[in-house]
């Protein structure tokens, strides 16, 4: 069958044609058009009309190959960010070092990137060709390009076969893949859980051996990865695998330590993650703070067993939970919500004390934040509709003597 397949060619240094990729037709890949987002197709058509290439890439192609509707559609092109921005009015360029374009259609955001080269390695930011771009993809199941116009999948690395065989195969050599970007270890675990692909022995050994490379990763990147786990609907098995591959101690060191040394805590923590997955699977729209409850409720149960004066319960629990989730750095209001929700679930009707906060750059001016509402995001009962303000009293301007005499 492979002999009859279409092939993509490129030229070597001498100008000789070299086979680069296999091209799967609609009959061969089986992707149904109803899985496509029409706005993603519109973006690619618009790029083509301006003379540029455009393809759906990565996880969306993987999902469509197995008959699953993708959550996101990432697009790649040979147009550079500034040019994409000029083509699409409803867009903006993001990122300082690795520049991408976000194109907006209502509440949907499509991420459009430019082919990257290998000039600066697998994490550089130089623009290149598709032939180079594919070598920077982490795993073969994410290195597939889909042309929705011709309905073809372009496969440089055997990704279609790996998806169908449930294999997780790295594109980048094992000796550099995690040194270049340690977060790829977390992605490997997430892909394994979400796709059912097994982590091969050598890849698993490389992950365990390289797990300490996560230690210097910035809190912002780790926070982003943890939030993805919270939103995945597969938090329980992902955390289980992250623990198995010695990764969770860098994502949530306090939790990993308690899980390792306290079987009762470990059991309760796992059950909480299971409840989180059920909430996400229900499709209910929930704020981050509601999901964070399941990350911290096992710790709250431990803390409230101690004899703490009622007036100190909230402050003590909040401080302990803030330390517990580090290096994750969620917005304060979301963690506050999670702590108070968790305490309420255990029967504590806690009111937050007034907190004096200083204005940045103005140490002499304080503001009092009245947080006596049961939850921070609920409107206080002021007797007025939410969002209304009391009328401001107008101050009378004092006339200067000069102004008075002039008027006379």
Residues 267 and 371 in one domain: yes
Residues 158 and 190 in one domain: no
Residues 225 and 312 in one domain: yes
Tokens encoding 20 = 């680069």
Residue 61 sits in a domain whose CATH number is 3.30.460.10
Residues 18 and 155 in one domain: yes
- Given a contact cutoff of 8 angstroms between Cβ atoms, the answer to whether 153 and 62 are in contact is no
CA-CA distance, 12 to 76, in Å (whole number)?
A: 23
Domain annotation covers residue 177 = no
Domain annotation covers residue 388 = no
Domain annotation covers residue 69 = yes
Residues 227 and 370 in one domain: yes
Other Cβ atoms within 10 Å of 130 Cβ, number: 20
Residues 163 and 224 in one domain: no
Domain annotation covers residue 383 = no
Whether the bond into 327 is cis, omega within 30 of 0 = yes
- Given a contact cutoff of 8 angstroms between Cβ atoms, the answer to whether 118 and 128 are in contact is yes
Look at 151-160, 214-223, 312-321, 374-383 and tell me which has the smallest mean pLDDT.
374-383
3-state secondary structure at position 65: helix
Residues 165 and 225 in one domain: no
Domain of residue 61: give its range: 1-170
Residues 123 and 70 in one domain: yes
Which of 263, 260, 290 has its CA nearest to residue 278? 290
Residues 13 and 100 in one domain: yes
| Portion of the chain with pLDDT greater than 70, in percent | 80
Mean pLDDT of 193-197: 92
Domain annotation covers residue 385 = no
pLDDT value of position 307: 86
> Given its phi and psi angles, is residue 361 left (phi above 0), alpha (psi -120 to 50 degrees) or beta?
left
- Count of the separate structural domains present in the chain: 2
Other Cβ atoms within 10 Å of 402 Cβ, number: 8
Residues 247 and 105 in one domain: no
Residue with tokens 């955001």: 109
Q: Torsion angle of alpha carbons 221, 78, 122, 137, nearest 10°? A: 80
> Given its phi and psi angles, is residue 298 left (phi above 0), alpha (psi -120 to 50 degrees) or beta?
alpha
Residues 61 and 124 in one domain: yes
Residues 163 and 306 in one domain: no
Domain annotation covers residue 229 = yes
Domain annotation covers residue 407 = no
Would you place residue 126 in the very low, low, confident or very high pLDDT band (cuts 50, 70, 90)? confident
Domain annotation covers residue 19 = yes
Show which residues are catalytic.
Answer: 72, 74, 138
Using only C-alpha atoms, what is the Rg of the chain?
Answer: 27
- Given a contact cutoff of 8 angstroms between Cβ atoms, the answer to whether 292 and 230 are in contact is yes
- Whether 356 shows a pLDDT value over 60: the answer reads no
Quote the pTM value.
0.78
pLDDT tens across 44-88, in order? 999 999 999 999 999 999 999 999 999 899 999 999 999 999 999
């Amino acid at each position: 069958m492979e002999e009859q397949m279409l092939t993509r060619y490129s030229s070597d240094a001498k100008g000789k044609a070299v086979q680069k990729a296999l091209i799967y037709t609609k009959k061969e890949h089986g992707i149904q058009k109803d899985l496509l987002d029409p706005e993603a197709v519109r973006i690619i058509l618009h790029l083509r009309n301006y003379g540029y290439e455009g393809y759906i890439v990565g996880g969306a192609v993987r999902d469509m190959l197995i008959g699953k509707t993708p959550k996101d559609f990432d697009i790649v092109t040979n147009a550079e960010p500034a040019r994409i921005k000029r083509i699409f009015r409803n867009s903006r360029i993001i990122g300082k070092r690795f520049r991408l374009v976000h194109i907006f259609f209502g509440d949907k955001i499509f991420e459009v990137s430019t082919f990257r080269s290998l000039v600066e390695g697998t994490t550089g930011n130089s623009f290149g060709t598709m032939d180079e771009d594919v070598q920077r993809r982490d795993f073969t199941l994410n290195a597939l390009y889909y042309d929705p116009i011709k309905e073809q999948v372009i496969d440089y690395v055997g990704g279609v076969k790996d998806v169908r065989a449930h294999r997780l195969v790295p594109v980048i050599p094992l000796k550099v893949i995690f040194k270049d970007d340690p977060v790829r270890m977390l992605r490997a675990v997430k892909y394994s859980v979400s796709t059912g692909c097994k982590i091969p022995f050598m890849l698993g050994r490389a992950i365990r051996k390289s797990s300490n490379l996560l230690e210097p990763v910035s809190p912002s990147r780790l926070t982003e990865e943890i939030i993805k786990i919270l939103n995945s609907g597969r938090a329980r098995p992902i955390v289980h695998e992250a623990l198995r591959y010695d990764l969770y101690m860098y994502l949530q060191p306090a939790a990993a330590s308690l899980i390792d040394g306290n079987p009762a805590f470990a059991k309760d923590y796992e059950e909480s993650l299971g409840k989180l997955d059920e909430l996400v699977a229900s499709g209910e729209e929930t704020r981050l703070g509601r999901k964070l409850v399941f990350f911290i409720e096992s710790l709250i149960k431990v803390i409230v067993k101690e004899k703490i004066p009622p007036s100190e319960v909230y402050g003590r629990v909040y401080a302990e939970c803030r330390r517990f989730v580090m290096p994750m750095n969620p917005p304060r209001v979301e963690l506050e919500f999670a702590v108070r929700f968790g305490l309420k679930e255990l029967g504590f009707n806690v009111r937050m004390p007034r907190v004096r906060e200083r204005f940045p750059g103005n140490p002499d001016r304080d503001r009092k934040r009245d947080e006596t509402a049961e939850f921070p995001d609920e409107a206080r009962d002021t007797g007025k509709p939410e969002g209304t303000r009391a009328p401001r009293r107008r101050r009378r301007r004092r006339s200067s003597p000069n102004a008075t005499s002039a008027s006379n």
